[in-house]
Amino acid sequence: MKDSVIAAQQTPPAHRTTSDLARAAVSGWLGTAMEFMDFQLYSLAAAIVFNKIFFPDVSPAIGLIAAMATYGVGYVARLAGAVYFGRMGDRIGRKKVLVITILLMGASTTLIGALPTYATIGILAPSLLVLLRLVQGFGAGAEIAGATVLLAEYAPVRRRGLIASLVSLGTNSGTLAASGLWAILLGALSEDQLLSWGWRLPFLLSFALMLFAVWLRRGLKESPVFEERPDVVDGVAMDRGEVESTIAAGSAVDKHQSSVLAAGIRQRKGKAFFLALGLRLGQAGNSGLIQTFLVGYIATNLSVGRSVPTDAIVYGSLLGFATVPLVGLIGDRYGRRPVYMAFSLLTVVIAFPVMFLISSGSSAAVMLGMVLGLNVGVLGLFSLESVTMAELFGSRTRFTQLALAKEIGGILTTAIGPVLAASLTAVTGSWWPIAVMLIVYSLITFVSAFLAPETRGRDLVRLEDAV
């Protein structure tokens, strides 16, 4: 074992061509786009039609809460997927895991489009919906984390924020595609057509996208950072016992390498993880409120056209194609911490004005409020999150810790948040709890960014966390 470790340590750094970087960028963008298209398709369906075709025997308010709860169930499975596939990705590499996750996500999403409804098979219909949601979530639990890690580890250090922001553009592309499809369906179909067969089309069409994504990823090279890790031998990471044996058998020749390995396995974990979790809560919480809950809330409670909220998400996502890379470039220029804090505080400042615009009942005001909230409180923070969380963690456990931080943050906010918002607005009969929730989520992220170290330019091959 020692000889093979030393031989691996003496190999030259892994090099990737511009073509390799481009393929990795497209792969990361497409996989994340597919994940968010799948989840946005589901969240919009949950807000618009699932309460009617899977939960028809309850009041509209209770139906919306039930549909949002079914949406949130997937986040429990995402956590399990984060643990399982995160460890696998740190052990055998990023690429293999990303092929598996895309298959699970695509297959389950397609099958949702083929489900019979409550009117056909009764209670079995929502039960099957929950089951497929669990499978979808299990695959998605490591998808965005894997894509984030892959792009950050492929990117040139001076443009890491920009390249890693492609993950955020992927989420934006997926949101745009799903919202666009729903906007077309809502505009072109009657309610009877939408409820009988129209809602199935977006789910069934995702199958073709899955096939292309799998083909693209199978031809992708492994992350250069993973190949350069000092604890990776023949494409597989050593476990703790093997690393400790290597350190104990160290000689004068590999003394430096032994110290590098020791730093990676002996560092006390925890601080970087909780900082990353705090950074995640703002973006994820705001996303759950703006991109999921408000779509159903506006359609149910405000006297505007049923397509207005989905149109607003479309326009906001289009603007996001400028917002996301711009924020990535600013982070590369000025650092992660100051930009993170600025966007968090800006979200706090605009929370009540945004909700006042949305609650006014004017279609134009609803559009403006949704677009502003989406770009500042969701996409701007997401662009920063993609690179900062990857830089906070050491390469030995980066995939696992990043996936867990994202999914635990998702459960605490994106999954629970819409259900809590639906309950609070039903009890109070007002929109102000939504604004308060936006402020709380964003303040948590502000404090986390303030306490976090500056990570711009960090060597991602290092095994230990940044703090």
What is the domain partition of the chain in residue ranges?
16-451
Confidence of residue 7 (pLDDT cuts 50, 70, 90): very low
Average pLDDT of every residue of the chain = 84
The residue-averaged pLDDT of 369-394 equals 94
CB 243 within 8 A of CB 259: no
Confidence of residue 20 (pLDDT cuts 50, 70, 90): confident
**Least confident interval from 156-160, 305-309, 343-347:** 305-309
Confidence of residue 197 (pLDDT cuts 50, 70, 90): confident
**Least confident interval from 209-213, 376-380, 435-439:** 209-213
Q: Rounded to 5 degrees, what are φ and ψ at 183?
A: -65, -40
Q: Which tops the pLDDT comparison, 377 or 44? A: 377
pLDDT for position 132: 87
Interval 64-73: pLDDT, tens = 566 656 666 7
**Least confident interval from 111-115, 213-217, 300-304:** 300-304
Confidence of residue 253 (pLDDT cuts 50, 70, 90): very low
Q: Which tops the pLDDT comparison, 419 or 427? A: 427
pLDDT for position 1: 45
pTM listed for this prediction: 0.82
Reply yes or no on whether the pLDDT at 42 is more than 90: no
Confidence of residue 3 (pLDDT cuts 50, 70, 90): very low
Interval 254-299: pLDDT, tens = 655 666 676 666 667 789 999 999 999 999 999 999 988 898 888 7
pLDDT for position 59: 59
pLDDT for position 10: 47
Topology of domain 16-451 in CATH is Growth Hormone; Chain: A; (1.20.1250)
pLDDT for position 249: 66
pLDDT for position 62: 61
pLDDT for position 260: 65
pLDDT for position 9: 47
The residue-averaged pLDDT of 126-140 equals 85
pLDDT for position 13: 60
